[in-house]
Amino acid sequence: MFDLPDDVLQIQQLARDFARKEILPGAQHRDHVHEFPADLVRQLSEMGFMGMVVPEAYGGAGLSTLAYVVALEEICYADASVGVTMSVNNSLACAPIVASGTEAQKLKWLPRLASGEQLGCYALTEPDAGSDAGAQRTRAVRDGDDYVLDGNKIWITNAPYAQVCVAYANLAPEERHKGVCAFIIDASSPGYRIGKLEEKLGITSSATSELSFEGLRVPAENLLGGERRGFGIAMATLDGGRIGIAAQALGIAQRAFDLACAHAKQRMAFGKPIGSNQAIQWMIADMATRIESARLLTWRAAITKDGTDKARASHFCSMAKLAASETANFCADKALQIHGGYGFSKEYEVERLFRDARITTLYEGTSEIQRIVISRNYLG
C-alpha cells in the first residue's frame, strides 16, 4: 500500500487546511510565551480530532489508526505542541479505555474525552520509574469499595489541564510490574494534586507537570482491566502512543524540510542560490529519503495496529517511532544548518523545530528502549 485511500486523503486535507490556516500562524508566538493552545484544542474537538479512533458508539469519530496518524502529522507540521496535546488524549487516555474498559466504563468516560469536553492525561512515569516502567512505586491499597493511592508521577503531558487521568499504581511494589494496576481517575478527586509545571526545551506551549496522589480514593469500579493487569495495559497503550509520536516527528521533519528547500532556493551566496551547491543538495536528498522511509514505516505500523497480531503491531510501532524521531532530529539539524546563522535566531521557525524535535527520541520510550523492543523480536 503506497497511496492513501480516498477516505484517509479527505481527512488529511481537512487536517492540512486547518493546521496551515489556524494553527501555524500563532505557533511561534505560543512557543515564545509558553501559551497552552486551549482554543485550538476546542476547535480540534469540534472536528472530531480528540477521539479519532474511538468508536462512534462512544462518541468518537470511529476512524482507522492510519487516518489518525496522517491527520496528526498535519497538525504537528504546524505545531508539535498542539499535536502532542491531541496525541495524548487520543492514544494515551482514550485508547486504554477503548481496549480494556468495561462497557460501563466506556459509556461513562469515552464520550467526554472523545468530544473534547474533558481532556485526558496518562500517568505512568515516576522519579524512579522512567525507562524502567515496571519499577512503579505509587501504592494502591484496597479499602472497602475503593483503592487508596499514594505516590508521585512526573513528566505528565496535559496534566495541568486534564480532568481525567489514566494512572498506574502498584498493589505490591516488591513484585515490580506484576502488581501494577491501571485506574481511571477523576482529576477533581480530593488527594489528586497537580505539582510543579515543567519548563521545557521544546514543545513549550504544551503543558507538562508533576502529579501527586495523597490518600486519593478511587472507586473500585474505576479499576481498568482487573487487578494486576496494569502493566500490560500500560505497554499496549504505549504501542499506540509510539505511532502518535512517530506522526508528530514526521510533521516536524516535513516542516523542517520544506523550510530548508525554500531557503536553499532563495538564499544567495557567491552569486547563486545556495541550493545549487552539492553540499546543500545532498542534505536535501538525505532529508527527503529519511522522511519518506519513516513515513512508510509509520503507515505500516498504523495498518498493523488495526489488525489482530498485537506483537507484530508493537514491533512496527517501535520501529516507526525510532525511525521517525531520529529523522525529525536529523532534518531539524540540517534545516538549521542550511539556514546558517539565521537558523539560530528565535525569529526563524527552524529554531523552534530544532528544539521541538528533541523530545521525540525521549518520551513514550527513548530510542534506546525502542531498540530493546525491536531487537528482542530477533534475539529473544
Contact between 87 and 31 under an 8 Å Cβ cutoff? The reply is: no
**Smallest distance from the beta carbon of 237 to ligand CAA, in angstroms?**
8
Q: What whole-number distance in Å separates Cα of residue 162 and Cα of residue 200?
A: 19
- Give the range of 45-53, 63-71, 185-193, 368-376 binding ligand CAA by CB under 6 A: 368-376
> Binding of ligand CAA at residue 235 (CB under 6 A)?
yes
Give the residue with the Cβ less far from ligand CAA, 177 or 334: 177
Give the residue with the Cβ less far from ligand CAA, 68 or 231: 231
Choose, by CB under 6 A, the member of 74, 239, 326, 351 that binds ligand CAA: 239
Q: Report how many residues bind ligand CAA under the rule CB under 6 A.
A: 26
**Smallest distance from the beta carbon of 242 to ligand CAA, in angstroms?**
8
Q: What whole-number distance in Å separates Cα of residue 311 and Cα of residue 64?
A: 19
Q: Which positions are annotated as active-site residues?
A: 364
> Binding of ligand CAA at residue 249 (CB under 6 A)?
no
Give the residue with the Cβ less far from ligand CAA, 128 or 221: 128
**Smallest distance from the beta carbon of 338 to ligand CAA, in angstroms?**
30
- Give the range of 47-55, 228-236, 290-298, 336-344 binding ligand CAA by CB under 6 A: 228-236
Give the residue with the Cβ less far from ligand CAA, 249 or 369: 369
> Binding of ligand CAA at residue 168 (CB under 6 A)?
no
**Smallest distance from the beta carbon of 143 to ligand CAA, in angstroms?**
26
**Smallest distance from the beta carbon of 366 to ligand CAA, in angstroms?**
7
**Smallest distance from the beta carbon of 161 to ligand CAA, in angstroms?**
13
**Binding marks (x or -) toward ligand CAA, 178..207, rule CB under 6 A?**
x-----------------------------
In the region spanning residues 141 to 160, those forming contacts with ligand CAA, defined by CB under 6 A, are 155-157
Choose, by CB under 6 A, the member of 65, 205, 314, 327 that binds ligand CAA: 314
3-state SS record for the chain: CCCCCHHHHHHHHHHHHHHHHHHHHHHHHHHHHCCCCHHHHHHHHHCCCCCCCCCHHHCCCCCCHHHHHHHHHHHHHHCHHHHHHHHHHHHHHHHHHHHHCCHHHHHHHHHHHHCCCCCEEEECCECCECCCCCCCCCEEEEECCEEEEEEEEEEEECHHHCCEEEEEEECCHHHHHHHEEEEEEECCCCCEEEEEECCCCCCCCCCEEEEEEEEEEEEHHHEECCCCCHHHHHHHHHHHHHHHHHHHHHHHHHHHHHHHHHHHHHCEECCEEHHHCHHHHHHHHHHHHHHHHHHHHHHHHHHHHCCCCHHHHHHHHHHHHHHHHHHHHHHHHHHHHHHHHHHHCCCCHHHHHHHHHHHHHCCCCCHHHHHHHHHHHHHC
**Binding marks (x or -) toward ligand CAA, 46..85, rule CB under 6 A?**
----------------------------------------
User: By the criterion CB under 6 A, which residues form the site for ligand CAA?
Assistant: 88, 92, 122, 124-125, 131, 133-134, 155-157, 177-178, 231-232, 235-236, 238-239, 314, 363-365, 369, 372-373
